[in-house]
Structure 1
Amino acid sequence: MLWKRETDIEQLNRMAQGGIASHIGIRLTRLTDETLEGVMPVDNRTRQPFGLLHGGASVVLAESLGSIAGYLCSQGEQRVVGVEVNANHLRAVTEGEVRGVCRALHTGKRMQVWQIDIFDDHDRLCCTSRLTTAVVTPES
């Protein structure tokens, strides 16, 4: 199993309350031995002025999933912070819900790299993103 911290979806969703993810309706839905999944509505909170899913909202979903997954791979007092995120927007989405699937590409002692693929309601890939995080230990 990839994860080093014990948790469940309900606990992770509670941890996210009050942050940007909860404000735009992101919900974590599935935690397997190798992946973390979540969904986000395509509505007035996440659309750009022309009615399409805002690319920035897709990036928020991707970075949220990758950061939470990174935290689950850390230990003790370690924290995970984003270093770089990129996204390729491949298909427009105008309604419904999108689903993000986060997988580890690398989980080292100091750096992690996450692949997050985002699918529409018809299971078509609409965005692919990569997040690099640094694993840090707070100074006393």
Structure 2
Amino acid sequence: MTDTSAQSPTPAADAELVKLFNDMSAGTLSERMGITFVEASPQRIVATMPVEGNNQPYGLLHGGASVVLAETLGSVGAALHAGEGRIAVGLDINATHHRGARSGLVTGTATPLSLGRTLASYEVVVTDEDGNRLCTSRITCLLRDSAPKAQ
């Protein structure tokens, strides 16, 4: 069951999280895929990704690219929900591809299905610039304490 008692961050806090996640993407798969965060809170994570450079040989958005976007958003949401001193580790992800895209930006929006103490599940909807649903994905993450830092 989703805990709806959690408060959304203020617009300033949300902007700080968006900048943090965009900065943290340097040198990662997210940067390589061109993923740019737009919103970030445990209740809603939104990012865009270009189709160009993330397409398959037929010129369509690669299904794996949609899954990378979904896993990125769901993992970020789960980590935000887990809180300081805890981490989110992906356990399961699936995706249904509804239609293709050949150009432009796609937008992924992750919203929680269930936020618990040890598991967090998100639905991620990927849409094109016209708002057409391209992909629906579900990701479940294990929430655990961070490993102690080596001394």
The verdict on a shared fold, with TM-score over 0.5 as the criterion, is: yes
Give yes or no for the alignment of 1:46 onto 2:88.
Answer: no
Q: In the alignment, does 2:129 pair up with 1:124?
A: no
Give the secondary structure class of the aligned counterpart of 1:67: helix
Corresponding residue of 1:76:
84
The aligned runs of 1:1-140 (5 Å cut-off) are 1=7, 7-31=16-40, 34-43=43-52, 45-140=53-148
Normalized per residue, the structure richer in helix is 2
Q: CA deviation at 1:25?
A: 0.2
Q: Give the C-alpha shift of residue 32 in structure 1.
A: 5.8
Cα deviation for residue 76 of structure 1 reads 2.5
The separation in 2 between residues aligned to 1:132 and 1:33, in whole angstroms, is 14
Distance change in 2, residues 1:100/1:33 (3 Å): same
Contact 1:100 1:119 survives alignment (8 Å): yes
- 2: distance between equivalents of 1:116 and 1:2? 18
The runs of at least 4 consecutive aligned structure 1 residues that moved more than 6 Å come to none
Does the 8 Å CA contact 1:2/1:73 hold for their aligned counterparts?
no
Is the 1:2–1:34 contact (alpha carbons within 8 Å) kept by the matching residues of 2?
Answer: yes
C-alpha displacement at 1:17, in angstroms? 1.6
Shift of 1:74: 1.2
Q: Which amino acid aligns with 2:108?
A: G
Q: Tell me how far 1:82 sits from its aligned partner.
A: 0.3
Amino acid of the structure 2 residue aligned with 1:88: T
- Report SS of the residue matched to 2:73: helix
Deviation of residue 12 (structure 1)?
1.4
Bigger mean CA offset, 88-97 vs 73-82 = 73-82
Classify 1:87/1:103 alpha carbon distance in 2 versus 1 (closer, same or farther; 3 Å): same
Report the residue type matching 2:142 in the other structure: A
1:73 partner SS? helix
| Structure 2, gaps ≥5 residues long | 1-6
**% same residue:** 32
How many residue pairs get aligned? The number is 137
**Which ranges of structure 1 fall in alignment gaps of 5 or more residues?**
none
Q: What amino acid maps onto 1:31 in structure 2?
A: A
Give the TM-score of the pair, scaled to structure 1. Answer: 0.91
Question: Aligned Cα RMSD in Å?
Answer: 1.6
Secondary structure at 2:82's aligned position in 1? Answer: coil
